[in-house]
Chain A
């Protein structure tokens, strides 16, 4: 259909486009509400899963602070820490993925492809192997982290390093989004190589601790660490929210965004920094979590398009749903064993991604 057909006189009433548009916006809200309901249902199912055998009335009572002590302890001490961690982590990774994909105009941009995850693994390796923050307990033959804070700080530092190097390079030379992504890929390889070297000279027990850390886990996070993650995520979410019009403009191309008043280079660099802080914080406490930041925005684009006013909140909900569902699977697939969360997110995310590709998903 060509322009002349566009311009054919249609019997449309004045303002009818706006009314149709308002209906379309209601559809987006509906998708968002469905996502939130799904998240709440998953939360209830997650709380009820496991050996505590709580009834739904006990769960609901415990959630509002009443009910018996046993239910409250199970809900708030055993279940909610990792459920809330999954929600906060999913939100942060999905929002960071949205930001990366927009400012770099690249559907593959995420913490995993830009060297953030590999940098974190390198930082954790240094903490565990060089600084002695982890190993194997002789008594229990289990992996222990003698200094989880040190591991988290080093992982955070390593995760930030990749982006800081890219930002540093871009101060000396204008870098296109393509060259930024390629620099991220190169730094990923560099960090992976450095991690392998550090591990090569380490003892078996230390290597085991590093491998265990990179598996990722939502269950080693304390309420104090969760509070840090939630505060950082909330601050970053507010920042992303205020950039939603910039994202819409930047997806039209640099020159178009410039013409619409966007400081393209500034928005790109600051957003990369903030998105890296968001994802690094989660990775520092939970270990590597694959695919959430990549898949959640793509899934929601499929349903509601690329308008970031709605894509940001709905991707955040999708990220939380994806990570919570993965956590539920990780703890229920094999009795008495919690499988590595990064493996499960990959197993859930990869087929979802393939399905999107097969369905001809856009971006």
Chain B
């Protein structure tokens, strides 16, 4: 099912925690349909905070988040959950079966009992992602890679137009990193999903994302297509020297 093509706009967001310094300084960005945005920056640069502001989990002291022309804080919780799915870094594996964990993705739609549509949405994702043999396994018995895939699958069951991911490849091996990001890329391409992910691996970002937001100390350094990833921008963001080569049509960053 193709999305309605929602756009999530952040306009000049400023945020600080109660006892911290300023985390975000006037950060603006757009998450647009059919595009996968990588949010890049060093640890502590405010990437995850920015993502939390985009989902309404944190309220910025200044600036607004706009979902399809409406301020996010004016959107009801249920409507927000139908529009934005957020895959967090700190999701807890509880004692639900994979099927139940996926059905939980229908929470914004369920009044009391899940409808036939809700079950169908779960069945479709299970089939699409080949999860049938795992449907009745408890999620707290899955490996890290399996669990991450289930959490992303739950976001697909949520059928939101915008998908936000906070370090989705954390603690995953190379094969699982590729698998998880390919799942998102496929959804972006086939369902016109608008996606954004906080990422640490610039090469994975270059491989699977098409737009890049570079953040340093809570400020946007640059935002745009792959051309914004240059030896100079890598030096600015991460403080290291790097070369960029092209191999089989893919750009690769090599730290020097």
Interface residues of A, Cβ cutoff 8 Å to B: 1-4, 6-10, 12, 14-18, 20-21, 24, 105, 242, 245, 248-249, 251-253, 255-256, 258-263, 301, 305-307, 362-363
User: Chain A nearest CB: distance from B155 CB in Å?
Assistant: 8
Task: Assess whether A256 is in contact with B136, with CB atoms less than 8 Å apart.
Answer: no
Q: How far is the CA of A24 from the CA of B77 in the complex (A)?
A: 31
Given A21-B97, A24-B97, answer yes or no on A6-B81 (Cβ-Cβ < 8 Å): no
Looking across the interface, which residue of chain A has its beta carbon closest to that of B108? A261
Residues of A within 8 A of B91 (CB): 252-253, 255-256
User: Chain A nearest CB: distance from B78 CB in Å?
Assistant: 5
Task: Assess whether A259 is in contact with B55, with CB atoms less than 8 Å apart.
Answer: yes
- Enumerate 25 A-B pairs (CB-CB under 8 Å) in ascending A order: A3-B179, A4-B176, A6-B145, A6-B149, A12-B132, A15-B123, A17-B126, A24-B136, A245-B107, A248-B94, A248-B100, A252-B92, A252-B94, A252-B104, A255-B86, A255-B88, A255-B90, A258-B57, A258-B86, A259-B55, A259-B86, A260-B81, A305-B138, A306-B94, A306-B96
Task: Tally inter-chain residue pairs, CB-CB below 8 A.
Answer: 142
Task: Assess whether B175 is in contact with A4, with CB atoms less than 8 Å apart.
Answer: yes
Q: How far is the CA of A15 from the CA of B145 in the complex (A)?
A: 24
B84 in the interface (beta carbon within 8 A)? yes
Given A18-B123, A20-B135, answer yes or no on A307-B100 (Cβ-Cβ < 8 Å): yes
Q: How far is the CA of A28 from the CA of B104 in the complex (A)?
A: 18
User: Chain A nearest CB: distance from B21 CB in Å?
Assistant: 19
Interface footprint category on B: 35 or more
- Identify A253's interface contact among B90, B105, B134, CB under 8 A: B90
User: Chain B nearest CB: distance from A259 CB in Å?
Assistant: 4
User: Chain A nearest CB: distance from B218 CB in Å?
Assistant: 20
Residues of A within 8 A of B173 (CB): 2
B227 in the interface (beta carbon within 8 A)? no
Task: Assess whether B145 is in contact with A261, with CB atoms less than 8 Å apart.
Answer: no
Task: Assess whether A362 is in contact with B140, with CB atoms less than 8 Å apart.
Answer: yes
Residues of A within 8 A of B172 (CB): 3
